[in-house]
Amino acid sequence: MGYGLIEEVDGKPKLMNLGVINLGKLKNHYIKLRKIFERTLYLIDQYHPDELAIESPFYGKNVQSMLKLGRAQGVAISAALSRDLPIFEYAPKKIKLAITGEGNASKEQVANILERILQISDMPSNLDATDGLAAAMCHFYQKELPHNGPSYSNWKDYLRKNPGRVI
């Protein structure tokens, strides 16, 4: 299970930490869930984030895998709730779209773009780490979008209403 922590510095995202919660050596599913809960609490207590962004469960071919993933996500959400953090969920396609501009991008494409955006010099080989970071970046980008701003019918209308905007 991957995680990524970013902070906003002068309106731009800055990497704080990213990595994975390694569960491979644990055989018992419930012990894995406890480890996820404990590690998530540790990260929250260490970095004091304001919010938690997480990938929403997605439907796969294997129902058992989906159930286990949903439980793992629920445990991470519970850890955040125990520290009164607001939770934001994003669909995998929305995350990929926010990072790459393509909802069907590969994990490698997402990692590549994150590496460039955040100037990561020591990128982890495990792409689960960048999955967690991608959720955080997606949330960062969502916060930048105007929620009740003006609407535009086309590019010409946008340019007319935003004459100082550089494109």
Mean pLDDT, consecutive 10-residue stretches, the chain (167 aa), reads 94 94 93 97 97 85 83 95 95 94 93 95 89 95 67 70 68
Contacts of 34 (CB under 8 A, 6+ apart): 75
Name the residue type at position 90: Y
DSSP 41: H
The per-residue pLDDT for 151 is 65
Q: Which of 115, 116, 54 is nearest to 85 (CA)?
A: 54
Max intra-chain CA distance, the chain: 60
Contacts of 136 (CB under 8 A, 6+ apart): 4, 5, 6, 13, 53
Alpha-helical segments (H) within the chain? 29-47, 63-82, 92-100, 107-117, 127-144, 155-161
Whether the CA torsion 20, 126, 68, 60 is positive or negative: it is positive
The per-residue pLDDT for 72 is 93
The per-residue pLDDT for 131 is 92
The per-residue pLDDT for 146 is 55
Instruction: State whether residue 110 is helix, strand or coil.
Output: helix
